[in-house]
Structure 1
Amino acid sequence: MTSGGAGEAMEAIPELVIISGMSGAGRSTAAKCLEDLGWFVVDNLPPALIPTMVDLGARSQGNVARIAVVVDVRGRRFFDNLRESLADLDTKGVKRRVIYLEASDDALVRRFESVRRPHPLQGSGRIVDGIAAERDLLRELRGDADLVIDTSSLNVHELRAKLDAQFAGEEEQELRATVMSFGYKYGLPVDADLVVDCRFLPNPHWVPELRPFTGLNDEVATYVFNQPGAKEFLDRYAELLHIIAAGYRREGKRYVTIAVGCTGGKHRSVAMSERLAARLAADGVETVTVHRDMGRE
């Protein structure tokens, strides 16, 4: 650690991102993306060595200002070591975040079969046995993660784009939100922090002249927000998000995904997502809008 006052010492401590999650969900891709953005990346670092790596970065005279480490469950005493390391970092005032990469069982099985490699935890069992064991071991870490990304339907370029949007040119202590419309019949987004249900509103699908369009269409949006309770719901939920956003900032949470659902993810959820995103942006939250199921039949 550098000598001098406490302020100088704090400035010398590198920013830290821990990349973890399911094997096959894209940890290596995430690491390469951060490396391209100028982070110093260490792959498969034992959790017990994380504080040592941060200390080395602090001695680099500012040459290593941002460190990303990839950790997985193959190391013995994984969680004991990780908890001890995180507690050590907290006492030193290290700014740290955890990225958790998630994917469905089907997607992970396809990926392991395509590269003809066993899952690191399957032992003498099947790939699905290793996935189940890993998911159970990582459950607590997933719950504590600052950013959860579901890569089930993402290719390499789409995952890189998501990380670029979160980390490229970021400002300190800004809250970033992804507002994602979805269709309940296609399943809940597994990376959602908050879920909003718009199915209480009449469905434009049953209006023949509106059915071919989406919630991005002005006539569809007008129809949705002319329904009883729609504007009041938007106002009340925007007020709730204002309170939640302030709390996230106080707790140092940098990312939130708000999933807005209707039956098919084409009309009501799309219109509501656009309005909620506009309210968040007006509240000073950097917001990205994604319509997951809008193009499905």
Structure 2
Amino acid sequence: MSNSAEAQRSGTGKSGIEVAVVTGLSGAGRSTAAKCLEDLGWFVVDNLPPELIATMVELGAQARGVITRVAVVMDVRSRAFTDDLASVIKDLDARGYKPRVLFLEATDEVLVRRFEQVRRSHPLQGDGRLVDGIKAERHLLGPLREHADLVLDTTGLSVHQLRAKIEDAFGTETSARTRVTVLSFGYKYGLPMDADLVMDVRFLPNPFWIPELREQTGLDSDVRNYVLGQEGAEEFLDRYHDLLRLIGTGYRREGKRYLTLAVGCTGGKHRSVAISEELAGRLANEDGMAVKVVHRDLGRE
């Protein structure tokens, strides 16, 4: 593999420098993301005018290894923000820097609460209401969100949880492997907001109705054997595994690095846990995939 191809796959541009652009809705956690990136060793610049970004990256690339990772935090305070930033991202990509774009968002209700807590007005509010500014910003940033490498919904995240996600995405790991999170959940607690794909395994018999299995979980061998032994379970896993192999190949081809696969059953305790563990084990054997399992609702009543 050529050096340029390896650089493209790893997210590292020419001269060995990595570039990230952090943007998103006001109040969604950009400041937290910036502080976390600084802690991870990134050179972070906040709200640099879009027309100066490429120049700053070029200067970083000429620093002979002193600066190896540059993150630019951008928001709508910049003039012509959307058009200029989109052009800058394309320009950086054309120059071989392969920038990663992180987009942070949250629900309107949470954003309103966060602004009210700090008693600040929204940058696009003007003479209108706070919700008007949020609506205008969400519309303005829509095109950038669609082309982001990673979208993080911070609605239900604490500062520590958001930092953990940033560390996972932008830490020392520079491999271009698709990072797959297999997330089990219970439908009665709601769909995961950050799921890219959702698998519904409620078609399988529920171990909850088996007295000796009720208090166990999908991590226990008895429950696992019961779930995987049901008619259709093996075929379902085989076909979904093939589908994810195809999707993973396409993600790598398109430079996408993150995939959250949500697997749901009624309570998130038995079927979804067992299927998630089995599917993650299969995906872990795939080249180009880094897999982790999260059981969101395990232990909830």
- Give the CA deviation at 1:202: 2.2
TM-score, with length taken from structure 1: 0.89
Partners of 1:154 and 1:123 lie apart in 2 by 29
- Give the CA deviation at 1:18: 0.8
Query: Per the alignment, do residues 208 and 84 of structure 1 end up closer, same or farther by CA in structure 2, a change over 3 Å counting?
Result: same
Matched residue of 2:34: which SS?
helix
Partners of 2:145 and 2:217 lie apart in 1 by 34
Amino acid at match of 1:286: A
Partners of 2:269 and 2:80 lie apart in 1 by 46
- Give the CA deviation at 1:13: 5.8
After superposition, where does 1:129-278 map in structure 2 within 5 Å? 129-278=132-281
Contact kept? 2:123, 2:133, Cα under 8 Å = yes
1:85 aligns to 2:85 (yes or no): no
Query: Per the alignment, do residues 194 and 48 of structure 1 end up closer, same or farther by CA in structure 2, a change over 3 Å counting?
Result: farther
Contact kept? 2:25, 2:105, Cα under 8 Å = yes
Partners of 1:13 and 1:170 lie apart in 2 by 14
1:286 aligns to 2:290 (yes or no): yes
Contact kept? 2:124, 2:133, Cα under 8 Å = yes
Query: Per the alignment, do residues 132 and 199 of structure 1 end up closer, same or farther by CA in structure 2, a change over 3 Å counting?
Result: farther
Partners of 1:238 and 1:166 lie apart in 2 by 24
Partners of 1:289 and 1:170 lie apart in 2 by 18
Query: Per the alignment, do residues 23 and 212 of structure 1 end up closer, same or farther by CA in structure 2, a change over 3 Å counting?
Result: farther
Partners of 1:72 and 1:295 lie apart in 2 by 39
Matched residue of 1:67: which SS?
strand
Contact kept? 1:183, 1:293, Cα under 8 Å = yes
Percent of matched pairs sharing the same residue: 63
- Give the CA deviation at 1:42: 0.6
Query: Per the alignment, do residues 56 and 41 of structure 1 end up closer, same or farther by CA in structure 2, a change over 3 Å counting?
Result: same
Matched residue of 2:143: which SS?
helix
Contact kept? 2:14, 2:96, Cα under 8 Å = no
Per-residue CA shift, 1:220-261, capped at 9, x if unaligned? 222221221111111111121112212222222222111112
Contact kept? 1:30, 1:163, Cα under 8 Å = yes
Number of the residue aligned with 2:29: 26
Per-residue CA shift, 1:13-72, capped at 9, x if unaligned? 621111112222211111111111111001122333221221221222222111011111
Partners of 2:50 and 2:96 lie apart in 1 by 18
Number of the residue aligned with 1:3: none
Query: Per the alignment, do residues 130 and 265 of structure 1 end up closer, same or farther by CA in structure 2, a change over 3 Å counting?
Result: farther
Runs (4 or more) in structure 1 with deviation over 4 Å come to none
- Give the CA deviation at 1:85: 0.8
Partners of 2:162 and 2:14 lie apart in 1 by 31
Partners of 1:232 and 1:146 lie apart in 2 by 32
Partners of 1:47 and 1:294 lie apart in 2 by 44
Matched residue of 2:212: which SS?
coil
1:96 aligns to 2:99 (yes or no): yes
- Give the CA deviation at 1:86: 1.6
RMSD over equivalenced CA pairs, Å: 2.1
Amino acid at match of 1:122: Q
Number of the residue aligned with 1:296: 300
Contact kept? 2:47, 2:78, Cα under 8 Å = no
Per-residue CA shift, 1:90-144, capped at 9, x if unaligned? 2211121111122222322222222222222233333333222222222222221
After superposition, where does 1:11-50 map in structure 2 within 5 Å? 11-12=14-15, 14-50=17-53
Q: Which runs of 5+ in 1 are unaligned?
A: 1-5
TM-score, with length taken from structure 2: 0.88
Per-residue CA shift, 1:164-184, capped at 9, x if unaligned? 222322133222111111223
Contact kept? 1:174, 1:249, Cα under 8 Å = yes
Query: Per the alignment, do residues 11 and 142 of structure 1 end up closer, same or farther by CA in structure 2, a change over 3 Å counting?
Result: closer
Deviates more, 1:132-141 or 1:271-280: 132-141
Q: Which runs of 5+ in 2 are unaligned?
A: 6-12
Query: Per the alignment, do residues 292 and 125 of structure 1 end up closer, same or farther by CA in structure 2, a change over 3 Å counting?
Result: farther
Number of the residue aligned with 2:10: none
Partners of 2:173 and 2:125 lie apart in 1 by 39
